Structure 1
Amino acid sequence: MASIWRRACVGCTKSKRQCTKAVPACRRCANKGIPCVYPPARRTNNIHLDADAAAAISSAIPSGTTGGSANPLPMICHDNDRVGNDDINFHPLQLMQSDLVEEMISRATIYHSQPSIGIDPTAVSTGLWFLGPESWVTDHTPCAPNQPELSQDRVLQRFVDSVQDWLRRWVTDGGSPLHHHQLYRENMPRCVQDAHSAIALYHMTTCSNADTRAMTARVLEDRVTQLLADQTFEASLRGGEEMSTFDHICRVQSLLTYQTIRLLDGDIRMRAQAEALIPTLFRWTQQLLDSTKNSLTQPARFLADIAASCPNVADSEDAILWAAWILVESTRRTWLVANYLQETYLYMKQGWSKCPGRVPNTMHGRLWDATSAYAWSKACREIDTVLIPTQRIEKLLFETNPEDLDEFSLLIVELIYGMERIEKWIEDSRREKQQALSDII
């Protein structure tokens, strides 16, 4: 039985913007006053349009729109009368019906019915475990007794040093525990390019004379001013339209770069300028989290948008899921680092700060370090630990080897339990392995 499945309009797809898919025109095209044209629907056998949905679609289109409207009722094209896609220049997945995406979403329903996070083998094997809405709950539950002040200061300083090192490695290595090596491979917006260049410039001039450092500070100030101005300008162009999750990540990681440099540099002027933007970064990180959570309420559209923005993944389910996971996991890590870094700075400055809470992140190193969609998918099927809520981290210390955690996750665990306990955990694990080896010999 054939049914209607509306894809993003031509204008939104070419601009890589989220489409509301309204008829006769989506919100973006209506605001811009441009023709809104949808690609023809294709036949599917795995989704049926019920009577209420059909009535809702029919009532949403005024009578007479089939004549002069740029957007008539979506067609149901059979195999022998499909419109060719050469003139439309659409990405293959969008013209493929929903055979691939909706098959994945039907399996996502299995995961969403599970009460736990990251331990359901069916969800892990299908690669849809990271779409669960319950995995985005911000947890403020205390995890461990307060550490001694000296130990706490050491942990916080280690965290700050690690974030600074990740920025350097983003430039020198092309990736870091915060910046996935694939995130900007297809598309690096100008704001991210500016931040990337600013890191290189800053570290190149760290040991230079006072005049060179002052020039670098002016460049950083101008880049931040440009970032804020661009956000205001782009918001006026969107006319209230929602930003994509990728756009949110780009601006948060860019501002986080400047905040990390200027809050921790020691220059009084740069520090004062960065302190004025602490509320802005907090607000942007919350909007990033909200955007991602909102996108995942419509997983079919989320995955289809991922495929449309990544031309190289449309024919591979593993590649689509890997690209989606990279975006989602980048949201988790960016939110954690941005909030923890600024709260750490405020604690060091005034002796106290708020607890930002924690969202679960993917802790197993094989996933973040995977170099291909196949390697990522294989790791999802084979590992036991995926997303770890705060309440289960205590259990993690008894069931997981320290070397299985990636660098980012090990640092987060260290923030929760302190350096001494984590060092003991690592040492005990090493001793157990040596004992097991000696028993075999």
Structure 2
Amino acid sequence: MARNTTNSRTVGSIIESRVAELLASAQPDTPLECLARVHALILYQTIRLFDDDISARMAAELAMPVFRASVSALVRHVPLPDPVSLSNMVLQYLSKSDISAQPNLSMPDSPNTDEDFWCRWIFEESARRTIFLSNFLIRIWEILRGIENLECDGKLGLGAYGWYVSSYLWGAQTPSEFAAAYIEKNIFLVKDLDFTELLTHAVPQDVDVFGKMMMVSRLGIEAVREWFEVKGAIL
């Protein structure tokens, strides 16, 4: 953000140095490290692919195989969303008398405790959103390269993968807030970029920022803006 014509070369050099260090590191095995690696690559690839410097764009293209491989490594750690399992875990949690303990967000693979369902959901939902965003970025790159015969099946090559749309689940700060939101608020599971159920039953307050991004990407900004306006809100 602080880049300008005076420091552009220095900033570019710093970025490339950090990217080189990241690409030289081994692919991690743990789920959180895999997620962090993809997050870093999304940021660096976005910066470089849309840079005015052609050398930065070329460097980003050369890094695409590593980016794809890192996304694939992350996919292996993320199961398909399972509403039945999530519901059972929430109900089990609510059946406990003590819901005040705070989880350790750094340990999604920790032994089962009353709060682990929330930790695990945060990691898995973060990873699902990251995977989708990564594949969107890859497709944008393919379009910019002029690759022909590209098709959109709504799945981004991820089969039955989907993600949850619920600003209340995503914004929960404690397991008890999450559980209450799950019981009391609207929750939508979007698969294959099919927003039919959400458009029919949701209200604007249900949709978080990521949901808005995906709706606009799939339906177009005018259609989404109209949906919000009909529901009495502004996109």
**SS of equivalent residue, structure 1 residue 348:** helix
Residue 172 of structure 2 is matched in structure 1 by 370
After superposition, the Cα gap between the structure-2 partners of 1:309 and 1:430, relative to the gap in structure 1 and judged at 3 Å, is closer
Q: Structure 1 residue 291: deviation in Å?
A: 2.4
Q: Could you tell me whether the CA contact under 8 Å between 1:367 and 1:380 is conserved in 2?
A: yes
Q: Deviations over 1:264-296 (max 9, x none)?
A: 1221111100011122212211221122239x9
Q: Does 1:340 align with 2:136?
A: yes
Equivalents in 2 of 1:275, 1:333: separation in Å? 23
Q: Does 1:422 align with 2:224?
A: yes
Q: Does 1:291 align with 2:86?
A: no
Larger Rg, first or second structure (1 or 2): 1
Residue 220 of structure 1 is matched in structure 2 by 15
- Shifted more, 412-421 versus 255-264: the winner is 412-421
Q: Does 1:261 align with 2:63?
A: no
1:251 aligned to 37, 40, 52, which one?
Answer: 37
Q: Could you tell me whether the CA contact under 8 Å between 1:307 and 1:314 is conserved in 2?
A: no
Q: How does 1:58-69 map to 2 (within 5 A)?
A: none
Residue 26 of structure 2 is matched in structure 1 by 231
Give the CA RMSD over aligned residues. 3.0
Return the TM-score normalized by structure 2: 0.77
Q: Which runs of 5+ in 1 are unaligned?
A: 1-202, 235-242, 432-441
Q: Does 1:207 align with 2:4?
A: yes
Return the TM-score normalized by structure 1: 0.43
Instruction: Answer 1 or 2: higher relative contact order, Cα 8 Å, separation at least 6.
Output: 1
Q: How does 1:248-397 map to 2 (within 5 A)?
A: 248-293=34-79, 310=107, 317=114, 319-350=115-146, 352=148, 353=150, 355=152, 356-357=156-157, 359-390=161-192, 393-397=195-199
Identity of aligned residues (%): 26
Equivalents in 1 of 2:171, 2:5: separation in Å? 35
After superposition, the Cα gap between the structure-2 partners of 1:310 and 1:285, relative to the gap in structure 1 and judged at 3 Å, is closer
Q: Which amino acid aligns with 1:261?
A: I
Q: Which amino acid aligns with 1:290?
A: R
Q: Structure 1 residue 390: deviation in Å?
A: 3.4
**SS of equivalent residue, structure 1 residue 292:** coil
Q: Which runs of 5+ in 2 are unaligned?
A: 90-102
Q: Structure 1 residue 398: deviation in Å?
A: 1.4
